Chain A
């Protein structure tokens, strides 16, 4: 159970990215955060594993306030939270297997890992993770030789290596063809359903939101402007969607086979 209480983030230049945001996520939920660019989605996700330090508020995960913990304990928490990024954030010049193994850094002996030495079981695990996302044959290619969809799968494999109990996905399909969006989200849904990993994901396409979310929150100007359950989001109309996204929003749909509707 993740509880975000009165979370506020003010950047050094005075920008208020989040304003008194509170919500709860039960274990095993697929929570989707919607909102315009700049509405605070990325900041919110990064506050949860403290890649960005919150200014005020609490983030309590299983009774532990993440905003209060010491650096050592923070790393213990971070390694249980996988993260997937819009731009994949792979080390482009390293090979795929090294990128995947870096997901294990929170568990292995820090000194041994500096020499790029990983235990045999971790290597086996990395191979299995790549197998699971269907790119085992690409393991020794450089990350930047892969297509965008393949790179995002490497990102998922890296998150899997953390054996996470929660995954934060920051617009995981925004730099991909709509065709690939479903395949990436299906992996996340699979993890969510088979291993009951809690997923917090920011998304743009209403169709994808309706298809995958078990709960939705909408952000505008750093504040929560919409909360919806699975049923409510299924019933959401374009007008309600525009309420969150602003008047200019145009509905772009992606069918389950990836075709544009």
Chain B
């Protein structure tokens, strides 16, 4: 910086200030170049050209049907006035400012100044806002719609427990259509047992006439007695081939409440049912009233058990990957330690080769390694272990090798001087220096691996992430919430434990 200033003072502008200004007005940046500020000129020309290009692209997208510069601009202006107008003004302002900047730069003793770059940055910010489709209005107005699923994620524990259920039901047979034989008799009433009687006991199902207009079925009066009082009761229809479904009225499920005596009465319309033409004999349907009640103590739900199972799988996955990573990283790290490999050109070649491989492997994210591993071993935790192991070897190999490079040669010399053998020297002078960083890095990596293993399932690498994506795709936000909570708890615990252990070792 200092040298440039000095040079600028030594070498004045090639042209007088007004000329530089006018030249820059015609070709932005050229005036600065003539004022011996080539870099500044190029930078300003580049900024202006880029923002004009980006602006043209966005404006074109806003007016895809139009042709002609004026038409396109007008259309874009009406669609997004808040973006198009200020940006347009900003572009023109930048152009003029560049000209004025050239005028200033050409004056002796006046150099630098960053205001023109601030303007360019503002323009880029405005364009960036548009390109990345930031929409704060949408965020503000639609956040409330997301509250339903979000609240279930935030507090999902209703789905964590369940009770066994018991269904009480009673039903009456319905003949369809009526024929000349007597319809099925009403069931016998046993006191204390639930009991349902329908009237009439035969009738026609809903159907459609030749114009496809709906012909409603026969109205039935259903009376029930002996049910649990004041309890929600559902009406089910069972057709002769055993299909059952909840009955609806006006599109809604029929739900009724029994009275104090456990009795109810309701009008239902016989539903629309297609009975296969191959069916023979009289068509006896059945209408049933069912009450479902929970019995017994709370117990963990299947979702909770699944989540626990997968969480254990996740932690084990991370652990196995760490163990494999450590085992393979130790030998690799010796090959990647400069102080051990600097002996000859051959070992130096090995060093550079191993270092570059480690850097490449490390720069590829574990998620991508998982996708690659899945093509080899298929979906599941093994693919995740391979992915995390590969990444751990590269990361730990680098960290370990740096630990080896940082070893203090003094103690090695001192132990050698006592007449110790090579093995004794390693045990007494090298290993004690290596253990703390090795332990620290390994635990740190375990921490990272468990963290990564929670998301490696997103691409099919096993662990809880797999379950999480499934629940989200099924819109089962409560179950997904449990998975999210498990991940958060595990990661936080591990974070604490690993930093605690590392502190003890350093």
Query: What is the interface of chain A, defined by CB distance below 8 A to chain B?
Result: 49, 51, 75-83, 85, 87-94, 98, 102-107, 110, 113-114, 155, 158, 161-162, 168
Contact = CB atoms under 8 A, between A and B. Distances in A.
Given A91-B428, A91-B433, A105-B428, A79 B419 contact: yes
A162 B419 contact: yes
A208 B91 CA distance: 78
A110 B432 CA distance: 17
A76 B433 CA distance: 26
Nearest to A106: B419
A93 B420 contact: no
B120 interface: no
A105 B417 contact: no
B418 A106 contact: yes
Given A79-B419, A91-B433, A114 B413 contact: no
B contact face: mostly helix, strand, loop, or mixed: helix
- Count chain A CB atoms within 10 A of each CB in B408, B417, B427, B429 and give the residue with the most: B417
A75 B420 contact: yes
Contact of A51 (B411, B416, B421): B416
Interface in B383-441: 408, 410-411, 413-421, 423-424, 427-429, 432-433, 435-436
B417 A93 contact: no
18 contacts: A78-B417, A79-B419, A85-B410, A89-B414, A91-B415, A91-B432, A92-B408, A92-B411, A92-B433, A93-B435, A102-B415, A102-B428, A105-B428, A106-B419, A110-B421, A110-B423, A155-B414, A168-B417
A198 to B, nearest CB: 16
Contacts of B436: 93
Contacts of A51: 413, 416-417
B424 A114 contact: yes
List 3 A-B pairs, minimum CB-CB distance, nearest first: A106-B419, A79-B419, A89-B410
Assign chain B's interface to a size class.
20 to 34
Nearest to A76: B419
Contacts of A87: 410
A250 to B, nearest CB: 29
Interface of B: 408, 410-411, 413-421, 423-424, 427-429, 432-433, 435-436
B420 A114 contact: no
A89 B255 CA distance: 85
A81 B417 contact: yes
A8 B411 CA distance: 26
Given A91-B429, A114-B423, A78 B418 contact: yes
Contact of A158 (B410, B418, B433, B435): B418
Contacts of A82: 417-418
B416 A89 contact: no
Nearest to B436: A93
B62 to A, nearest CB: 66
Contacts of B413: 51, 85, 89
A63 B414 CA distance: 25
B414 A85 contact: yes
Contacts of B423: 110, 114
A104 B423 CA distance: 15
Contacts of B428: 91, 94, 98, 102, 105
A78 B410 contact: no
Contacts of A76: 419
B424 A83 contact: no
B411 to A, nearest CB: 5
Contact of A89 (B411, B420, B421): B411
B421 A75 contact: yes
A103 B410 contact: no
B417 A110 contact: no
A49 B427 contact: no
Contacts of B416: 51, 78
A105 B411 contact: no
A74 B309 CA distance: 61
